[in-house]
A = this chain, B = another copy of it.
Amino acid sequence: MPNPTAAMLVIGDEILSGRTRDANMHYLAGEFTKHGVDLREVRIVSDDRPAIVAALNALRDAHDLVVTSGGIGPTHDDITADCVAEAFGVGIDVRADARAVLEAHYERQGTQINEARLRMARIPDGATLIDNPVSAAPGFSLGNVHVMAGVPAIFQAMVASLLPHVTGGQPLLSQNLRIQRGEGDIAGPLRVLAEEFDDLQFGSYPFQKDGAFGANIVIRGTDGARIDAAMARLSAAFPE
């Protein structure tokens, strides 16, 4: 059976303005690769309701699962939950179980719950909560869409809550060969190898260092013995 496919939607004005460099995408990509889920597409959009709704609908139709990051806090620019409700055509309101989780958390902290914090208990109808062990305010899953916080520590905790519920495939294995030759010298033999080992994926990632060109050739697949065989042939073609 092929691995399930996934997409990620980052709601991130701070990434689009260049203020912040993304961390969640990189984290999720690594976790999915280990778990045998193929991350096929990432979209980053701003805090713009029509843009978020359109992206949600495009991605949930095209992939087995979708993870979103960001926009579920208490401030006026946190509109992800409302966008998910709109995308699915369901209602949204403060939900008793989410409210109880928040109230217990703030009581422990000696903090008052207020109108802004109550926004974080607004959950689309039919969704299942995702546990937030860091700051209580839950994420949620609706259909194949999993809605998570943007703060990296919370995002990572929510991914850990989600993964056991995702039926992954075989983990994608990879090996890397660093070749100190221009990609133009590597390309011909690499194409021949890629055609022969057509059950594997061959990627060529050029670099330039101290004026010299080279490339990292990455061979990926689910069968370690096949990767070993291809890597042996590649190493023989480009001895150090």
Please list the residues of chain A having a beta carbon within 8 angstroms of any beta carbon in chain B: 13-22, 25-33, 39-48, 51, 73-78, 111, 113-117, 119-120, 134-135, 150-151, 153-154, 172, 174, 182-188, 190-191, 194, 201-208, 213, 215, 218, 220
Docked-complex contact A25 and B26, CB < 8 angstroms: no
A153 CA to B47 CA, complexed, in Å: 31
A218 CA to B40 CA, complexed, in Å: 32
Total identical chains: 2
A204 nearest CB neighbor, chain B only: B75
From B33, B51, B120, B207, contact of A40 by CB (8 A): B51
Q: List 10 A-B contacts (CB under 8 A).
A: A15-B25, A17-B172, A18-B39, A22-B25, A22-B26, A40-B51, A41-B45, A43-B43, A77-B204, A114-B188
Docked-complex contact A116 and B188, CB < 8 angstroms: yes
- Interface of A (DSSP majority class): mixed
A222 CA to B76 CA, complexed, in Å: 21
Docked-complex contact B43 and A75, CB < 8 angstroms: no
Closest approach, in angstroms, between the C-beta of A159 and any C-beta of chain B? 12
From B75, B119, B154, contact of A186 by CB (8 A): B75
Closest approach, in angstroms, between the C-beta of A117 and any C-beta of chain B? 4
A88 CA to B186 CA, complexed, in Å: 30
Docked-complex contact A205 and B33, CB < 8 angstroms: no
Docked-complex contact B20 and A191, CB < 8 angstroms: no
Docked-complex contact B45 and A16, CB < 8 angstroms: no
A61 CA to B27 CA, complexed, in Å: 31
CB-CB under 8 A for A190 and B75, given A46-B40, A111-B184, A184-B116: yes
Q: Within 8 Å CB of A77, what residues of B?
A: 202-204
Docked-complex contact A184 and B117, CB < 8 angstroms: yes
Docked-complex contact A42 and B41, CB < 8 angstroms: no
